[in-house]
Every structure is written in C-alpha cells, then in structure tokens.
C-alpha cells in the first residue's frame, strides 16, 4: 500500500544541487565506460584466454547483449523498487563481473563476466530517470543534458583510456582499476543519493506487460526512439569504421594517432547541456532537426577532399565532433520528451527508448564493418549518410503541434 510519504516523495521531489548533478553525470560516464573498455583490446584478450580468432567478436557482443537484456528486464524496476538501492546493487554486480573478467584465463569465465558487465552497466539508465524525477519541471532538460554529457564523455574516452592502461600494464589491469573505481563510486552514491520509493504498486509481470502497451500507444516514444535508432546506427557505423580507415594505407595512423582522433570526438558532448536548455525553452522541434542534420552533414563532408590528404583528415576530425554533437543533441531532446509522458513511467519509458536506441547501434556496427569490407570508406559513409537522412524524412512527417501538446 502506498504511504503518503512515499507518494509525496515521488510527486514532489527535491531539486538537484550542482554537486549532485555532477556526481550523477560522473557516475554515468564511469559506469558506461565499462561497456567499451574491451573494444580496442578484444584481439589481445582473445589470444591470452585462448579464444579462437573467429570468436573474438563475442567479447564485445556478449557485453552488448547483457546491456540490452538489462535495459528491457531491469531498468523498468526503477518504477517499482527504491531507486538508490537498485542503482548501488547494479554497481555491485558490475564490480564483481569486472573482477571476474580480470581474473579469467579461459574463454568460459571471461565471456560470462562480459555478459554480466553489460547487465550491471544498465545502472546508467537507472540514474538518468532518477535524476529527471528529482529535477524541477522547468530545469529537467538542463539536468538531463548535463548528466548525459557525462555519459557521452565516458563512452568516448573509454577506448583510448583502456588502450593506454593496457599499454602501460596489461588488459587485466583495466578491469581491476575499473572495479576499484566502481567500489568507490557505489559507496559515494549510497551515501549521497536521496532515497526514492516509486508510488507504483505492480507485480514484475504487470510491469513488463505495461511496457508493451506503452510502446504501442505512445507516439512520442515511437518517434523519438526511431530518430535515435537511426542516429546511433550512424554513430556506431562511424566509430566502427574510422579506426579501420585511419589505420589503413590511405592514412597509416598508429594506435596513438587513432586514440587522439577518438578523443577529438569528445568535444561533441558539449551538445548535452545545450540541448537540455533548448528543450526547457520549448525548442525541442528545432533542436531535434538541427541534431539530425548535423549527422548527415558530418558524413557528407568526409567526401570533399582526396583520401589520405591532410585536408581529408582534418575534415574527418571535424565530422567526428559534428556527428557526436548531433547524436547527443537528439538523445537529450528525445529523453526530455519521453520523460514528460509521466513521472511514474520514466524508468519503463527510458528502458524502451534505450533498448531501441541500442538496437540501432548494433545494426550500425554490423553494417559499417560489412560496408567497409565491401566498398571502403565511400560505401560506408554513404550508408552513414542514408541513416540520418531516413530519420529526417520521418521527422518531416511529424505533426509538430501534436507532439508539443503531448510534451507540455
């Protein structure tokens, strides 16, 4: 039975201080990074644990599968269970999984740990709606934007950081160091986060069943998830292919050069707070349009100069920043839009939104690897351009007035 205190806490949450916002943003970045540490290390890890070369992709794929399962099956629990305890429990799970991965010397334990790392890392997508519930209505977009900037920085810096640590020590050290960070982070969040007990009183089965209804009946969720699936597909294609492209004969960059290129893309994370502020001012529609166009332009501009030239490398770097900016812009405006559909639904809405978003990214990675092998950068970039172009075509059918009324 819902108590008056818990209902009041859910409906009238306290505001978020700047320090708390920073803590939640940093937590999102540090936890999300666990999903990407293995990407540049998959080859060496496979050799060390005796995993066949043809199965190397499982190292990354199983982490992604675990994350996808967690989005659908665990993130919605934020609408049912006390939020702080749930978040810290998931951080505990990812900590154990990181230690297990570091200790592994054979394929079975390591791949099991990889799956668990993905599952535990969905703590990120529990923190974001938690923050949205704590934020006042007028500043919700700004708060979500600031927290998502932490998430994007974590995603973009994870690969070069893991490569640097592995180069100085070993790939085992990457997991051990991250586990230590997770212990400290979990302790800090347990002490600093407020408790929040949702008002909803559903069984777990009812909770999952309600998600299907939400997806079928909420056009804002359908559209925003579709836009972001195309955007993240383009993002994943770009970051799957560009390391291969830069390491190839056209540019001949080494590991350090590619790491610096990846770090340049972090500048695109500045879009998060900008998008949040625009959304708070009722400018979701133009901000979304701008974000979609940025990604299309990013791919188009890489075709201007001759491959391998200094100008081509410069344009590719600018494209990386512009692409990350556009994807982040639509991500924040999308989350701001779906969170307006109901405070009691935010964890379920976020789980659905991110699961669809994530599926688009997985498809984009697969498309990128195939396209680059089949037709080089030109073919891959044309597919990359077609993805946001398709999103723009869908976006132009949106009834702006209708979506605005649903949001506000």
pLDDT surpasses 50 at 381 = yes
Contact 133, 10 (CB under 8 A): yes
Q: What is the pLDDT of residues 5-16, one digit of tens each?
A: 333 343 334 567
pLDDT at 72 over 90: no
Give the pLDDT confidence score for residue 98 in this predicted structure.
97
Residues 278 and 188 grouped into a single domain: no
Number of domains within the chain: 2
- Of 162, 178, 198, which marks where a domain is finished? 198
- My answer on whether 159 and 288 are in the same domain is no
Q: Which of 198, 223, 247 is the last residue of a domain?
A: 198
Least confident piece of the model among 182-186, 237-241, 287-291, 381-385: 237-241
Kindly report the three-state secondary structure assignment for every residue of 317-335: HHHHHHHHHHHHHHHHHHH
Q: What is the pLDDT of residue 88?
A: 97
- 262: nearest Cα among 312, 307, 323, 310: 323
167, 198, 229 - which closes a domain: 198
145 and 187, same domain (yes or no): yes
Q: Are residues 178 and 249 in the same domain?
A: no
Enclosing domain of residue 57:
16-198
Cα distances (angstroms) measured from residue 225 to each of 122, 193, 287, 349: 18, 29, 16, 10
- Report the candidate in 281, 303, 280, 279 with the shortest Cα–Cα distance to residue 291: 279
- pLDDT per residue as tens digits for the range 105-154: 999 999 999 999 999 999 998 998 888 888 787 777 788 888 888 888 88
Place of tokens 């505001």: 15
pLDDT 10s digits, 79-114: 888 999 999 999 999 999 999 999 999 999 999 999
Q: Is residue 4 part of a domain?
A: no
Residues 267 and 388 in one domain: yes
User: Across residues 162-172, what is the average pLDDT?
Assistant: 87
Same domain for 138 and 33: yes
State phi, psi for 284 to the nearest 5 degrees: -60, -45
Q: What is the pTM of this model?
A: 0.80
If asked whether residues 266 and 375 sit together in one domain, one would say: yes
Q: What tens digit of pLDDT does each residue of 21-62 get?
A: 899 999 999 999 999 898 778 878 988 999 887 787 788 888
Per-residue pLDDT at 302 exceeds 60: yes
Task: Please indicate whether residue 383 or residue 256 has the higher confidence score (pLDDT).
Answer: 383
Same domain, 303 and 194: no
Task: Say if residue 40 is in the same domain as residue 139.
Answer: yes
Q: Are residues 344 and 394 in the same domain?
A: yes
Average pLDDT of every residue of the chain: 86
* CATH, residue 370: 1.20.1250.20
């Amino acid at each position: 039975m819902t108590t008056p205190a818990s209902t009041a806490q859910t409906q009238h949450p306290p505001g978020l201080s700047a320090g708390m916002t920073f803590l939640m943003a940093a937590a999102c970045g540090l936890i999300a990074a666990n999903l990407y540490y293995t990407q540049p290390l998959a080859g060496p890890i496979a050799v060390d644990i005796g995993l066949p070369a043809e199965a190397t992709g499982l190292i990354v794929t199983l982490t992604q599968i675990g994350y996808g399962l967690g989005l659908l099956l665990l993130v919605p629990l934020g609408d049912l269970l006390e939020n702080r305890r749930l978040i810290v429990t998931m951080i505990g799970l990812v900590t154990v999984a990181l230690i297990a991965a570091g200790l592994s010397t054979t394929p079975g334990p390591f791949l099991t740990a990889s799956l668990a790392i993905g599952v535990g890392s969905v703590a990120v997508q529990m923190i974001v709606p938690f923050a949205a519930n704590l934020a006042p209505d007028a500043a919700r977009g700004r708060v979500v934007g600031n927290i998502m900037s932490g998430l994007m920085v974590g995603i973009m810096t994870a690969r070069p950081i893991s490569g640097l640590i592995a180069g100085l020590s070993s790939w085992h050290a990457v997991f051990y160091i991250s586990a230590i960070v997770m212990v400290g982070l979990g302790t800090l969040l347990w002490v600093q986060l407020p408790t929040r007990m949702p008002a909803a009183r559903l069984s777990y089965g009812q909770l999952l069943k309600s998600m299907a209804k939400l997806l079928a009946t909420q056009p804002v969720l359908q559209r925003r998830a579709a836009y972001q699936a195309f955007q993240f597909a383009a993002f994943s294609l770009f970051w799957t292919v560009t390391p291969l492209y830069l390491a190839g004969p056209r540019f001949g960059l080494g590991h350090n050069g590619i790491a610096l290129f990846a770090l340049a893309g972090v500048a695109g994370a500045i879009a998060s707070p900008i998008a949040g502020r625009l959304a708070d001012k009722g400018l979701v529609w133009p901000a979304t349009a701008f974000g979609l166009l940025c990604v299309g332009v990013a791919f188009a501009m890489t075709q201007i100069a001759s491959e391998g030239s200094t100008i081509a490398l410069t344009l590719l770097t600018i494209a990386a920043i512009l692409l990350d900016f556009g994807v982040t812009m639509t991500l924040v405006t999308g989350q701001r839009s779906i969170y307006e559909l109901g405070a009691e639904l935010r964890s379920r809405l976020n789980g659905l939104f991110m699961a669809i978003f994530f599926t688009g990214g997985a498809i984009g990675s697969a498309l990128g690897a195939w396209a680059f092998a089949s037709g080089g950068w030109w073919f891959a970039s044309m597919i990359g351009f077609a993805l946001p172009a398709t999103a723009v075509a869908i976006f132009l059918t949106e009834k702006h007035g209708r979506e605005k009324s649903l949001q506000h």
